[in-house]
A and B are shown apart, each in its own frame.
Chain A
């Protein structure tokens, strides 16, 4: 548990998350009634590469808390959608863009991307690149350079070789 820039950050093992959130929601000294959002931060060089973060707000105490769970690609994070129904969509978004799996989620499907999308775009090793657009003058090159470039640690964007 740390305090950074006035925001309490609590790091938990995944199996304690639900218990902690239930306590924080009900305890009269905390009353974190509102889950603002949840998201994930990817640190690909770590073994437990994902920080799964829930932001809880207490209106009575005018306070914000971070609940953070360290997760690997296979970790199952318990869903908070039973406690905070609004988290259902946020967790679907997190699954969609990061591939985090939530246990106890009523409907864990993609929400922003099409159902047949491959990969999870907000992971760092999912390289965004200037995907070539095929025109008649460059069609041979464009169609052969549609593959996503390899991930290079530290690079924010991939590049396609231009003819």
Chain B
């Protein structure tokens, strides 16, 4: 642990309530052994969990090796949702790629838009006006809350707390209403584009977001009242699915899965993008790396996201939302009638698109699941030469076999839920 960076934020662990004694904690020896020899033992019974299983949140097949009720080995079989986005990117112009990115992590589409747009903008050395950056932050933080709400609802549903699902959907719908109001689409918004936004927000946006952020903290209190100190919830989640900080780092875990193990690593803090350095927020970290810690972290992250949205809407600057570079963003409609230059730019942009200079870079943002990175290679043309998506769910899922090892088969569902995978993100 000496090799870890110093804590950021206040460093307070999210476990604010002292834990009850008497709940058995499972700490098996030998965790972290990569190839488990027991996998080849003959007495294990292999069963399939999935690909069609309600608690795999998509199409994931887990081959569990069971010794009675204990999971001794776990092999994840992925690829059922593989769509070849990375190949498709190579035959689409940069702006045409934005709607494709929506479909990867379909629970937080604006995050993917932002990651892709920032990678291209950094390749071109573009600066987005402050208003555009602030609206981007508001939209992605709202989508982070929406994504965490889906996670909380389904995770609780998997463990038998059915009511949570309804409450979470109620709040998520308000966020989707806001997204619909600004972009016309509830989920696959494609609102964040290379060079700025699809359009400036309508005037109803600010009161809608204010209304949401003023109610939302009480809603989180309600959720916590239902779950955080609920003895059944605590018994089912504390000490379960533990992953150590070293293992989480080795497997490239990120997001709440890594922070749950006590590593204070959040890209919004470590490498701020899109003016995240203007806002005050905490990065909650866990102590034990179990399912309960990951739950507490996400719940606190929703509160922090709400704080960020509040600050951003408070300080929302005026001015343009898109870059003034006419080689990137479309000229305003009024200019096209009067300026020959604008007409040419409009024509060139819609027919050919933008052309970043040759080069390559990797840019990552903090999505609800962890580090969402885009490795972008340009050869100077109007299409990405290569665009690799570093999907957080992919790396987080690769550590699953460590977390479910020696747990009960019924608890495997809780562990899969706690790492919050989106299969669209895993398979791409």
Closest A residue to B81 by CB, please name it: A112
> Closest B-chain residue to A4, C-beta based?
B359
Q: Does B340 contact A (CB under 8 A)?
A: no
Contact B252 A33 (CB under 8 A): no
Quick check: A41 and B377 within 8 Å, CB to CB? yes
A106, B84: Cα distance in complex, Å: 25
Residues on A with beta carbons closer than 8 Å to the beta carbon of B359: 4-5
> Contact between A60 and B5 (Cβ–Cβ < 8 Å)?
yes
A62 x B362 contact (CB < 8 A): no
Q: Hey, what's the 0/1 contact readout for B375-409 against A, CB within 8 Å counting as 1? A: 10100000101101010001100110000000000
Proximity string of chain B (22-44) to chain A, C-beta cutoff 8 Å, 1 when within and 0 when not:
00000000000011000000000
Contact digits for A44-61, partner B, Cβ 8 Å, 1 yes 0 no: 000000000101000110
Complex Cα spacing A97 to B388, Å: 12
| B371 neighbours in A (Cβ, 8 Å) | 36
The stretch from A10-18, A71-79, A80-88, A136-144 touching chain B is: A80-88
Residues of chain A contacted by B247 (CB below 8 angstroms): 85
Name the segment of B170-178, B221-229, B263-271, B305-313 touching the other chain: B263-271
State the CA gap A31–B2 with chains docked (Å).
12
Please tell me if A95 contacts chain B, counting CB pairs below 8 Å: no
Q: Is the CB of B122 within 8 A of A5?
A: yes
B185 at the interface (CB under 8 A from A): no
Residues on B with beta carbons closer than 8 Å to the beta carbon of A132: none
Q: For the complex, what is the distance from the CA of A28 to the CA of B4, rounded to whole Å? A: 12
In Å, the complex CA distance between A148 and B420 comes to 38
- CB neighbours (8 Å) of B265 from chain A are 59
Min CB–CB distance A18 → chain B (angstroms): 16
Total number of A residues with any Cβ neighbor in B under 8 Å: 40
* Cα–Cα, bound, A41→B362 (Å): 13
Nearest CB in chain A: distance from B8 CB, A: 11
Interface size class, chain B: 35 or more
Q: Is the CB of A34 within 8 A of B362?
A: no
Enumerate chain A residues within 8 angstroms of B252, measured Cβ to Cβ.
Answer: 34-37, 84, 86-87, 90
Cβ–Cβ contact B5 & A59, under 8 A: yes
Q: A106-B35, A122-B87, A128-B87 are in contact. Are A41 and B249 (CB under 8 A)?
A: no
Given contacts A31-B3, A121-B87, contact A86 B398 (CB under 8 A): yes
B91: Cβ under 8 A from any A Cβ: yes
Residue pair B427, A112 in contact (C-beta under 8 Å): yes
**Shortest distance in angstroms between A41's beta carbon and chain B's nearest beta carbon?**
5
Q: Is the CB of B5 within 8 A of A88?
A: no
- How many angstroms from the CA of A97 to the CA of B78 in the assembled complex? 14
Partner of B79, one of A106, A112, A121: A112
A103 within 8 A of B: no
Contact of A37 among B34, B250, B373 (CB under 8 A): B373
Establish whether residues A60 and B377, one from each chain, have CB atoms under 8 Å apart when the complex forms. Answer: no
Contact B271 A7 (CB under 8 A): no
Question: Is B276 on the interface with A (CB-CB < 8 A)?
Answer: no
Cβ B271 vs Cβ A62 within 8 A: yes
A42 CB, min distance to chain B CBs, angstroms:
7
Contacts of B78 in A (CB 8 A): 111-112
Chain A residues with CB under 8 Å of B344's CB are none
Besides A37-B375, A37-B395, 18 new A-B residue pairs in contact (Cβ under 8 A), listed by A number: A5-B122, A33-B249, A36-B373, A37-B388, A53-B375, A55-B390, A66-B362, A84-B250, A85-B34, A85-B247, A85-B251, A86-B253, A86-B399, A110-B79, A111-B78, A112-B82, A128-B91, A156-B383
Chain B contacts to A: CB under 8 angstroms: 3-5, 34-35, 78-79, 82, 84, 86-88, 90-91, 122, 247, 249-253, 263, 265, 270-271, 359-362, 364, 371, 373, 375, 377, 383, 385-386, 388, 390, 394-395, 398-399, 427-428
